[in-house]
Amino acid sequence: MERRKPELLSPAGDMERLEAAVRYGADAVYLGGKDYGMRAAPGNFTREELKRAVELCHGSGVRVYVTCNTLPRNHELRELPGFLEYCKAVGVDGLIISDLGVLALAREHAPGVELHVSTQTGIVNYAAAKACYDLGARRVVLAREVPLAEIREIRENIPPDLELEAFVHGSMCVSFSGRCLLSNYMTGRDANRGQCAQPCRWEYYLTEKKRPQEHFTILEQGDGTYIMNSNDLCMIEHIPRLIEAGVCSLKIEGRAKSAYYVACVTAAYRRAIDFFSRHPGESLPPEILEETGKISHRAYSTGFYFGGGPGQTTDRGQYIRDYQVAAVCAGRMGDYVVLSQRNRFSRGCTVDVLQPGGAFTGEQLSEIYNEDWEPIESAPHAEMRVYWKTGLPVEEGAYLRVRAG
């Protein structure tokens, strides 16, 4: 079977994050409306915003997939046909679906729109993939638990026009394919309806029934354990192996994460895909790999792709934050770049500039001025305007990053 360049699929939790995905090289985005999507925390898209999102993406040759991957209750089904019809009317390219009833409704009310079966369905074998195909699916999003060797076997035993999508970057869930009841049980927030409180990331102790105020550590030594805290997934070095196994769409997790996260990870995987396309058989350059360390993340692993478990960090639950965004470029004025501050930075500090037109590393903020054009030593105030004198071709919307700490 011919192996073509894979699709890079990025998350879009709102319009700002969607614009970041498009600007930084996504081939497609996935997003949710105000209902029926598995991420309730981000802003998501009203119907009018969804229409604008499709217009913006299609104007840049980017496809749009809408998540309808909750497990809806009976009363929610009454409104669903109208939403599906609206998605078709505005030109949505695909619908991501978990529930078989929703799949049937989508075939009826959004004919011609591609149907993608969500990872929540838990597809781990070719029989299940073929069954979804027979029900009208054009693509299946494989369960995160499927090793590469089994993905290859699935590819060899399904129809040629059934596409395989797989996650390559982002958070992993302690529960199989994200089907978790822990959040609902502990907080009343249903993970299967987009409201997960992530209790798997919390710190846990043991207590004895008659001494509830006494906490005993689960580890033999230490102050407690984050016993369910999975590491994050990062497969950027192994893109050729994913393609060889038959994956056609590489999916980045993170609709609830920041526009900077979307921009940085999308840019890194865009560069990696293009590099491997031009240089088959070569190792990924370090400067591309290093980009994945310039976002907040948990310890990385390769998940289940090469066998075994995805790895856990049980002594802490917080993110690794080696870099932070100092400012965003708001435009130019002659020889000056106009910056909007995001975190405190000082004159003389070294910054990396992330932008679609090219990255600059190791640049120094040697001359910075406030709004009154007075030289300043630092920018301590949130979103304050700063003028940086530089000859670098920094683009509007570029991110300036500094090492944290």
Q: First CA to last CA across the chain, in angstroms?
A: 50
Tally Cβ neighbours within 10 Å of residue 274: 14
Domain assignments of the chain as residue spans, ordered by start: 7-174+232-300, 323-403
Look at residue 255 in the predicted model and tell me its pLDDT: 92
pLDDT in tens, 256-301: 999 999 999 999 999 999 999 999 999 999 999 999 999 999 889 9
Higher pLDDT, 309 or 349: 349
Look at residue 70 in the predicted model and tell me its pLDDT: 85
Does the pLDDT at position 2 exceed 50?
A: no
**Would you identify the CATH topology of the domain 323-403?**
Elongation Factor Tu (Ef-tu); domain 3 (2.40.30)
Look at residue 214 in the predicted model and tell me its pLDDT: 75
> What SS3 state is found at 235?
coil
**C-beta separation of 113 from 92 below 8 A:** yes
Does the pLDDT at position 187 exceed 50?
A: yes
Does the pLDDT at position 35 exceed 50?
A: yes
Does the pLDDT at position 197 exceed 50?
A: yes
Tally Cβ neighbours within 10 Å of residue 207: 11
Does the pLDDT at position 1 exceed 50?
A: no
Does the pLDDT at position 382 exceed 70?
A: yes
Q: What is the spatial distance between Cα 223 and Cα 261, in angstroms, rounded to a whole number?
A: 31
Q: Write out the H or E segment, with its range, that includes residue 84.
A: helix 80-90
Look at residue 3 in the predicted model and tell me its pLDDT: 47
Q: What is the spatial distance between Cα 287 and Cα 309, in angstroms, rounded to a whole number?
A: 28
309: confidence class by pLDDT, cuts 50, 70, 90: confident
Q: Residues 7-174+232-300: name the CATH superfamily.
A: Aldolase class I (3.20.20.70)
Mean pLDDT of the chain: 89
Q: What's the per-residue H, E or C state across 28-52?
A: EEEEEECCCCCCCCCCCECHHHHHH
The values of phi and psi at residue 400, to 5°, are -105, 125
Is the full-model pTM beyond 0.85?
yes
Does the pLDDT at position 193 exceed 60?
A: no
Q: What would the mean pLDDT of 230-257 be, rounded to a whole number?
A: 95
> How, if at all, do strands 399-403 and 114-117 pair?
unpaired
Q: What is the spatial distance between Cα 291 and Cα 354, in angstroms, rounded to a whole number?
A: 10
Q: How far is CA 1 from CA 69, 147, 210, in A?
A: 30, 20, 64
37: confidence class by pLDDT, cuts 50, 70, 90: low
Q: What is the spatial distance between Cα 314 and Cα 221, in angstroms, rounded to a whole number?
A: 12
Q: What is the spatial distance between Cα 161 and Cα 163, in angstroms, rounded to a whole number?
A: 6
pLDDT in tens, 69-110: 888 889 889 999 999 999 999 999 999 999 999 999 999 999
Q: What is the spatial distance between Cα 111 and Cα 160, in angstroms, rounded to a whole number?
A: 21
11: confidence class by pLDDT, cuts 50, 70, 90: very high
